[in-house]
Structure 1
Amino acid sequence: MRRGPLREGTFDSPLHEPRTAVVLGRWLGAALLTCFLTGLLSHLLQEPPAWLEGHLPSRPVNGYRVTQGLHVIAGTAAVPLLGAKLWTVYPKLFEWPPARSLGHALERLGIAVLVAATLLELFTGLLNTLQWYPWPFPFRQTHFWLGWTAVGGLLLHLAVKAPVIAAHWWRARVPVPGRRAFLTSVTVAAAAVTATTAGQTVPWLRWSDLLAPRRPDLGTLGLPVNRTAAQAGTTTVPADWRLTVAGPRPYRLSLDELRALPQHTVRLPIACVEGWSASADWTGVRVRDLLERAGAPADALVRVVSLEAEGPYAVSELPAPYARDGLTLLALAVNGQPLNADHGFPARLIAPNRPGVLQTKWVARLEVR
């Protein structure tokens, strides 16, 4: 007896059934929605629309650290959950006939889009945590739109399968041998990959940080770096370096003149899109003091320009809520030591609740806009 291209009984596991799929779907759906919402927040902080730019909050101080850490943790946990979910339902790939009607064909096409977008989203996100980009397309923009595609496909899938989901949401209609053991194994696998990678964000899990790509407590001056001075082409700072503050009353300051200004020390985290974060004690001049000296209005947007000649983050924009926050510094030292080249010598930006890629290093100009 044949069922389509395969023999009848090819998929003989009793776990290829709706209740197991619904339970896994709940967990996977929660992980994917968490990824989507935290990823959307990260995107808005990095590239805010004009109407939102002046309203981005600089508090809580650890806001981006928590949300981006949760983004990577949920995405990592989603990998074994997605594998288990696909294993549970993959016999439906071999349904025969492949399309019983136009509606059934459209449903299967929607599932194909959902699965493809989710697999690619998790695959590219995982490689991003390793800072490995073996593809020709831009990661961040592609990841953003894949997220919308995956969530759209997920919502459509939930709508189509709502009757089946409702029927198996609360309890199993028929006991299935091995289901509890299988779900327990999937839970243990998801917990294991989370526990061995989340330490790059969660300090009290650092002891179990075995598989994470970064140890945030390792590096020069007590911090790791994503982009070195050699990569940025800033190993040699001009001997006549001056910080230029361009505003209604423009002025320039040498490094010695910056050090002679009132210095402030704040404890802030560096939180990177790859999921790692680390707190440090930063010392420098408050940006708002520099802006007030230049006669900048209270609602001014500040353009921060690096010595780095090229790179997607050689220039960043500092909205007014950050620029006027007393914790935002043009830092000259970290953890009690002067900045070195890799950490942004002679001066770098540090601000609360802000992605690490926007904490511009090797600062040359502050432009009031």
Structure 2
Amino acid sequence: MRFTPPHGPPITFRARLHDARTATVIGRLLGLALLVCFATGVFSHYLQHPPPWLADRLPSRPSWGYRLTQGLHVVCGTAAIPLLLAKLWAVYPRLFAWPPVRSVRHALERLSVAVLVAAGIFELFTGLLNTFQWYPWPFSFVPAHYAVAWILLGAVLLHVAVQWPTIREHFTRRSPGTAALPEADGPDRRQLLAAVAAGVGAVTLTTVGQSVTALGPLDLFAPRSPAHGPQGLPVNRTADAARVTAASLADWRLTVAGPRPYSLTAAELRALPQYEVTLPIACVEGWSKSARWTGVRVRDLLERAGAGPGAGCRVVSLEAVGAYRVMEMGRRYAQDPLTLLALRIDGEVLSLDHGYPARIIAPNRPGVLQTKWVGRLEVM
């Protein structure tokens, strides 16, 4: 490939691996990773911010569902970073092709590539920084990440449509002339792909332990280790950050609003029938861990307040500020027997950072919706 600048000698890209076949092979894997990221990301978004028509239809089972989907989201997003870098390395000489636009099809191709690269870099690297809870930008991460995901999907579809003849050719392995390239032009394609696979495997194995308990010993570079934290469970938002203190909870009572409203002290809540469930906390940053939770079924508390069998629930936290201070549960979550107002974790009274005196634990829910420091339940 040759690029002749307006002034000066032509620049020649001779490396044999800057070709369509290499780009296609890497592109298949990158496309699969992005597809999984998109599907699991949309699922996570609608679990956290369900529109009214969907709120009562979201499933509460399997109880480990969100742990699986969000783990896949973060794992595939992390694996996509070396794949994206390898893909850009394989195709970057084409960015210097001259003339820059040769036809309508070529213009669409370059447009799709520009949007695809920009959106891909934005999604993967802002997502990576989100796992560290580091936000060095002036906009809100969640809506921006969600909106650009749709832009990225559109760019991928346009790119595949424009490049389909080339993709089809290389899927059927009928690319002409590649076998005649001399060995001196660069490392063998298999060696490059093996190096890319090793890079993907390395970043995956050294970070996936935050989601897969069995691989915890390999969790060298993940931002969070599920084994570390008060009472053996990590904490994203501390009581100090939420401005909740032990002194402010001295006269705590749980208020349950409904057709027959009532309130309970901590001692009265502990005197009610207690249930124990094993459920994971699964956070949007990718880490997750299961624990034994003991407490009162939310549906029993709602029923005592006069709620019908199809009632949902609004949960209000005592924290002073926070985007998720008020949380709503659709009826499938509120009526699920696994959904508890938890008082204990692994047999111990909740610590203040884990939501003392009471918190929500529900199946198949993001960690941000497992509300801590609960002060009020409202029948919906």
Alignment of 1:285-304 (within 5 A): 285-304=296-315
Task: Classify the secondary structure of the residue corresponding to 1:161.
Answer: helix
Q: Does the aligned pair in 2 maintain the 1:19–1:172 contact within 8 Å? A: no
Alignment of 1:330-349 (within 5 A): 330-349=341-360
Give the corresponding residue for 1:137: 139
Give the corresponding residue for 1:191: 201
Q: Does the aligned pair in 1 maintain the 2:254–2:264 contact within 8 Å? A: yes
Q: Does the aligned pair in 2 maintain the 1:308–1:314 contact within 8 Å? A: yes
Give the corresponding residue for 1:260: 271
Give the corresponding residue for 1:49: 51
Rounded Cα–Cα distance in structure 1 between residues aligned with 2:329 and 2:288: 21
Q: Does the aligned pair in 2 maintain the 1:306–1:362 contact within 8 Å? A: yes
Assess, with a 3 A threshold, how the Cα gap between structure 1 residues 302 and 268 changes in structure 2: closer, same or farther.
same
Give the corresponding residue for 1:165: 167
Rounded Cα–Cα distance in structure 2 between residues aligned with 1:258 and 1:165: 63
Give the corresponding residue for 2:330: 319
Shift of residue 101, structure 1, vs aligned partner: 3.4
Give 1:361's aligned amino acid: K
* Residue among 204, 210, 222 paired with 1:212: 222
Give the corresponding residue for 2:5: 4
Q: Does the aligned pair in 2 maintain the 1:4–1:97 contact within 8 Å? A: no
Q: Comparing 38-47 with 233-242, which one deviates more in the overlay? A: 233-242
Task: Classify the secondary structure of the residue corresponding to 1:121.
Answer: helix
Give the corresponding residue for 1:100: 102
Matched, 1:356 2:367: yes
Q: Does the aligned pair in 2 maintain the 1:286–1:326 contact within 8 Å? A: yes
Rounded Cα–Cα distance in structure 2 between residues aligned with 1:277 and 1:112: 36
* Residue among 116, 123, 126 paired with 1:124: 126
Shift of residue 187, structure 1, vs aligned partner: 0.5
Per-residue displacement from partner, 1:298-353 (whole Å, max 9, x unpaired)?
22221100001211011110110011111100000101100111000110000000
Per-residue displacement from partner, 1:62-85 (whole Å, max 9, x unpaired)?
000000000000000000000000
Give 2:4's aligned amino acid: R
Instruction: Compute the TM-score of the two structures, normalised by the length of structure 1.
Output: 0.97
Task: Classify the secondary structure of the residue corresponding to 1:224.
Answer: coil
Which residues of structure 2 form unaligned runs of 5+? none
Matched, 1:225 2:227: no
Give the corresponding residue for 2:32: 30
Matched, 1:234 2:244: yes
Matched, 1:305 2:301: no
Alignment of 1:271-290 (within 5 A): 271-290=282-301
Q: Does the aligned pair in 1 maintain the 2:74–2:286 contact within 8 Å? A: yes
Matched, 1:61 2:63: yes
Q: Does the aligned pair in 1 maintain the 2:108–2:162 contact within 8 Å? A: no
Shift of residue 2, structure 1, vs aligned partner: 5.9
Q: Comparing 145-154 with 101-110, which one deviates more in the overlay? A: 101-110
Which residues of structure 1 form unaligned runs of 5+? none
Shift of residue 139, structure 1, vs aligned partner: 0.3
Give 1:312's aligned amino acid: A
Give 1:191's aligned amino acid: G
Q: Does the aligned pair in 2 maintain the 1:4–1:95 contact within 8 Å? A: no
Rounded Cα–Cα distance in structure 2 between residues aligned with 1:3 and 1:164: 25
Rounded Cα–Cα distance in structure 2 between residues aligned with 1:102 and 1:353: 47
Give the corresponding residue for 2:76: 74
Per-residue displacement from partner, 1:124-147 (whole Å, max 9, x unpaired)?
000000000111101011000111
Instruction: Compute the TM-score of the two structures, normalised by the length of structure 2.
Output: 0.95
- How many residue pairs align between the two structures? 369
Shift of residue 34, structure 1, vs aligned partner: 0.3
